Amino acid sequence: MLHWAIALALAFQLALGFAMPKGASGFALYQLHKSVGITILVLTLVRLGWRLTHRPPPAVEGGFQGFLAKSVHVLLYVFMIGAPLTGWALVSTDRIQVPTMLFGAIPWPHLPLPAGVNEPMEEAHELLAWIGIALVLLHVAGALRHQFLIRDGLLRRIAPGGSAGLAGLLAVLVIAVYFGTGMKIAGDVVAAGGYEAPGDGRVELAGPSLDIDAASAANPSDAPSVAASESAAAEEEAGPPPVWTIQPGGRLGFAVDNAGSALRGSFSDWSGTIRFDPKNPESADLRIEVRLASATLGDATQDGMLQGPEFFGAAANPTATWRSISVTATGPNRYRARGTLSLKGASRPQTVTFTLTGEGLRRRVEGNASIDRSAFGIGTGEAAGGLASSVSLDFAFDAVGRAP
């Protein structure tokens, strides 16, 4: 059961890894990839434990073939452990610290590794995926050889209930999951507006067997491929997004319900770096930095408490930063930006919505966000007893753009 559960999960995981859009726009697929990958790691450790405490049946073949079979098995274990570990390491050392939430429910820590290992881990992760595919091909070729050339019924040894037919069915299922998943994801991503194009505006679909034709084959209607070519064309005209300067006089406010009445405040010192093309929100890179010491509720006592360890703990972490991961248009001049908020030593996903008014390179930006303060350990003492956990943030500012 572990053999087939892991084989099915790996087929899905490899297809997902190759098909998910690299870069910002694949947030949910990345979370899924990380969740399934860690599950494979856990299942493999269970399997290894089982393997070490249970003697397998004797090998059916010696000599070179026996050696090859055994080597491939050992290397498959190396792959099953190495792939998730390198994935985990590369996520832990990424420039953008995106927290991992397994299946949306279980927070998963980052490995304490230096940022310098990020590149090599990313390379190793991809290389291991390809090595894994090669090993599985050899492994399956071996199984086919036993089944159809030697006809020694070896397949029964890995079959639930000793049924070679069931093992064969599971093997076909593994292959179907690999190709099916890849095409489905590629099709969905293309339909939803496409892959993040590299600098030359080309739509890139990575991975074996996944190209635009494969994607549209999975979606028989013409719509997805039309959407793909349109978004590719749009990005081709667009070039890099304009860079915007936030004008003085903007506002960044917050409000939270305190035992039935609203507590309102604002930050006076914050700044941002904005790269954004209203017509191509996918290429956006938005960063905002807020000096927590500049927060005021208009009352000196409350302001003092706000800076203390039960609230912002500003002495240890003086700034809060938010950086976008993916920005999508939700209506005319209306956008939703998913990103990561780093506040009081914690980094968590944080969505921000905003609207634009004005024309060309002079715009007014207005928006809001709802922040779960408890996720950042803000308001831990008795003083916060009546505070709602959700804090609403609102902002408005003028920005002047210049072509990059």
Contacting range for ligand HEM; rule: CB under 6 A; set: 1-9, 263-271, 321-329, 366-374? 1-9
Burial class (CB within 10 angstroms; exposed 0-12, middle 13-18, buried 19+) of 350: buried
Minimum distance, C-beta of residue 26 to ligand HEM, in the bound complex (Å)? 9
User: What helix, strand, coil percent values describe the chain, rounded to 5?
Assistant: 50, 25, 25
Contacting range for ligand HEM; rule: CB under 6 A; set: 2-10, 275-283, 326-334, 387-395? 2-10
The answer to whether residue 12 forms part of the interface with ligand HEM (CB under 6 A) is: no
CA separation for the pair 201, 113 (Å, rounded): 34
Locate 189 and state its tokens.
């991503």
Minimum distance, C-beta of residue 211 to ligand HEM, in the bound complex (Å)? 14
The answer to whether residue 184 forms part of the interface with ligand HEM (CB under 6 A) is: no
Burial class (CB within 10 angstroms; exposed 0-12, middle 13-18, buried 19+) of 213: exposed
123 vs 236, which CB is nearer to ligand HEM? 123
The answer to whether residue 211 forms part of the interface with ligand HEM (CB under 6 A) is: no
372: alpha, beta or left? (left if phi > 0; alpha if psi -120 to 50): beta
Among residues 88, 244, 254, 322, the one that binds ligand HEM under rule CB under 6 A:
88
7 vs 341, which CB is nearer to ligand HEM? 7
- Beta-carbon contacts of 164 under 8 Å, excluding residues fewer than 6 positions away, are 147, 153, 155, 156
The answer to whether residue 31 forms part of the interface with ligand HEM (CB under 6 A) is: no
Among residues 24, 43, 121, 155, the one that binds ligand HEM under rule CB under 6 A:
155
Residues that bind ligand HEM (CB under 6 A): 3, 6-7, 10, 13-14, 17-18, 22, 30, 33-34, 37-38, 40, 51, 56, 73, 76-77, 80, 83-84, 87-88, 90-91, 100, 122, 125-126, 129, 132, 136, 139-140, 143, 154-155, 157-158, 171, 174, 206
